[in-house]
Amino acid sequence: MKKKLKIGSQAEGEDRLSSLSDDVRLLVNELENANVDVLDTTEFHNLTLSRKKVFFHRLRRMFWQLGSTKILTIDSATFEVLSAFTNFVEDVASPFYNLKYVKLPKGYKESSISTTMRKFLLGCSPGATIVTGLPQNEEYYQAVHVPSTSQKLLEEPLTTPTAELVDSQDIHKKVCVNRVQVEHLVDSSVGDADRARHAGAPVARKSINQASSSRGNSNFWLWQGLEIKSEFVDLLDLIVKKYPQTFEHFTAKSETFYAMKLNMLCTWVNEFLRTSMPEFCTDIISEYKDGFADLQRWGFNVYWLVDRLNYIEQIRLSQNEVHAIDSSVGDADRARHACTPVAREGIDQASSSRGNSNFWLWQGLEIKSEFVGLLDLIMKKYPETFEHFKAKSEAFYAMKLNVLCTWVDDFLRTSMPEFFTDIISEYKDGFADLQRWGFNRTVVQLILVKVL
């Protein structure tokens, strides 16, 4: 399928890019091949640096939504625009996790690809090969039936390639369609991704790319080009396989927030699965209902979690069940209600109950080690943040503190040029969630106004 992009004026360009992004999101999982054209670059060179960066974020988001494609073709204008973004490109992870080939524009050679550009295109697909592209404006894609035992429908160009795809271990099949002879690549592993596909859902893969994330943090792995906590990778694959409809209507306004919300989904699911039956008292059930409502508001279809929670609630309300487990109810009575953290000079570095060195005990709560210093700083400078914060259990108290730190950490790491309309809107929504949980967001709002 061919996708075209035009760089327009500020208002015109934003509307066009926004609509294009939604269009790609609907079609991405149907693509075996993607041909990206930038239609007009005449206005690009006249854009300010901040506008160029806004365009880059849009372009990268479109690439990110095409992450499952196997063969990527870019035209000379796209290559020119990407080359102009070298300073931006070198700081981001590759959006493509399933590439087999990258076809260059006509007249370009592999030697013309810089190290930065190669990393951006192939960083998450180390086995991909760069090949000479097809002549521009001559590629047309349609489904072609390949007469093989696999009986697959592959989308391929109906023109004769200008160069043989080299270093390939795939089986080559030649077929005639409308008297045009074309070469098709029959990849024995194509079905692995196809079986996990669902409209708008991520694609499960047999192996996970364990390349270092852009944070340089070994606690994060690149999952389909997104920085996901390593402990959640298998869980995400399981959700994609068993409940692909979870992601039908899920969207986010940037790659960063997409990854962050996936991590939050996994955090809720992980905590839910670790909660034993005696712990499901009224307050805990209410907390999970609120959490699942948040996930649904973000676009996640978590009917399977809601159904299970409703079933658990029915059991807990059953008089016979209450008597049967009465002796164990005390385990849930230790939950904290309306308690405010107290500043301390030192941090307890004892191992948490998870046995995970990535978590420290901060005031008796399991906090990610990277957030301990940040929490102390917030406590010292903005103690009013916690005035009205409370949670119905110690586990949720700790989890929400970790979520607060995640938002603050990402906010502080966002540079001035990155604060365009979509990002500001995303932060406003996030801060509203924090306030609803009881955190005082006044200070963060003042910082946002000051930055802008």
- Same-domain pairing of 328 and 352: no
Mean pLDDT of the residues in the chain: 65
pLDDT tens per residue, range 146-192: 333 223 322 333 333 333 333 333 323 322 222 222 222 223 223 33
**Averaged pLDDT for residues 309-325:** 63
Residue 218 binned pLDDT confidence (cut-offs 50, 70, 90): low
- Same-domain pairing of 234 and 174: no
**Under a CB-based contact definition with an 8 Å cutoff, are residues 396 and 268 in contact?**
no
Cα separation, 129 vs 122, in Å, equals 8
**Under a CB-based contact definition with an 8 Å cutoff, are residues 426 and 252 in contact?**
yes
For residue 301, give both structure tokens: 């279809």
Whether residue 271 is contained in a domain is answered as yes
Do β-strands 209-212 and 141-145 pair in parallel, antiparallel, or remain unpaired?
unpaired
Helix (H) or strand (E) segment spanning residue 241: helix 233-242
- Residue 49 burial (CB < 10 Å; 0-12/13-18/19+)? exposed
For residue 449, give both structure tokens: 């106004």
- Same-domain pairing of 41 and 92: yes
Cα separation, 92 vs 121, in Å, equals 11
Domain boundary among 128, 160, 194: 194
**Averaged pLDDT for residues 121-144:** 59
Which structural domain range is residue 365 located in? 348-451
pLDDT tens per residue, range 13-51: 444 433 333 333 333 444 678 887 776 666 666 777 666
- Same-domain pairing of 127 and 160: yes
**Under a CB-based contact definition with an 8 Å cutoff, are residues 452 and 420 in contact?**
no
Q: What burial letters (b/e) apply to 130-161, b meaning 16+ CB within 10 Å?
A: bbbbbeeeebebeebebeeeeebebbbbeeeb
Q: Which residue has the higher pLDDT, 139 or 374?
A: 374
- Same-domain pairing of 358 and 310: no
Question: At residue 284, does pLDDT exceed 50?
Answer: yes
Question: At residue 69, does pLDDT exceed 70?
Answer: yes
pLDDT at 407: 82
pLDDT at 168: 34
Cα separation, 154 vs 377, in Å, equals 55
- Same-domain pairing of 158 and 9: yes
Whether residue 337 is contained in a domain is answered as no
Whether residue 114 is contained in a domain is answered as yes
pLDDT at 406: 83
pLDDT at 114: 82
Q: pTM value?
A: 0.34
> Helices 49-65 and 255-274 meet at what angle, rounded to 10?
50
Number of domains in the chain: 3
